[in-house]
Amino acid sequence: MKKVHIILLVLIAGAIAVLVSFLKASTTYDSIDSAKAKAGKYVHVIARLDRSQPIEYDALKDPNYLSFTAIDSLGKTVKVVYRNAKPENLESSEHLVLKGDYENDHFECKEIMMKCPSKYKDDMNAAEKNIRETTQTEPIENQTAEKRIN
> What is the Cα–Cα distance from 98 to 105, expressed in whole angstroms?
16
148 part of the interface to another protein, by CB under 8 A: no
> What is the Cα–Cα distance from 43 to 28, expressed in whole angstroms?
6
19 part of the interface to another protein, by CB under 8 A: yes
Q: Computed from CA positions of residues 100, 106, 112, 113, in that sequence, does the dihedral angle turn out positive or negative?
A: positive
104 part of the interface to another protein, by CB under 8 A: no
What residues from 112 to 141 belong to the interface with another protein (CB under 8 A)? 113, 115-116, 118-124, 126-136, 138
C-beta closer to another protein: residue 42 or 50:
42
Nearest distance from C-beta of residue 23 to another protein, angstroms: 7
39 part of the interface to another protein, by CB under 8 A: no
73 part of the interface to another protein, by CB under 8 A: no
7 part of the interface to another protein, by CB under 8 A: yes
E strands within 84-128?
95-103, 106-115
Asked if 29 contacts 43 with a C-beta cutoff of 8 angstroms, the reply is yes
Q: Element (H or E) spanning 108, and its range?
A: strand 106-115
Residues comprising the chain, all counted: 150
> What is the Cα–Cα distance from 90 to 95, expressed in whole angstroms?
9
C-beta closer to another protein: residue 23 or 105:
23
According to DSSP, the residues that pair with 44 across neighbouring strands are 29, 99
Binding site for another protein (CB under 8 A): 2-4, 7-8, 11-12, 14-15, 18-19, 22-23, 25-29, 42-44, 46, 57, 59-65, 67, 83-92, 97, 99, 110, 113, 115-116, 118-124, 126-136, 138, 143, 146-147, 150
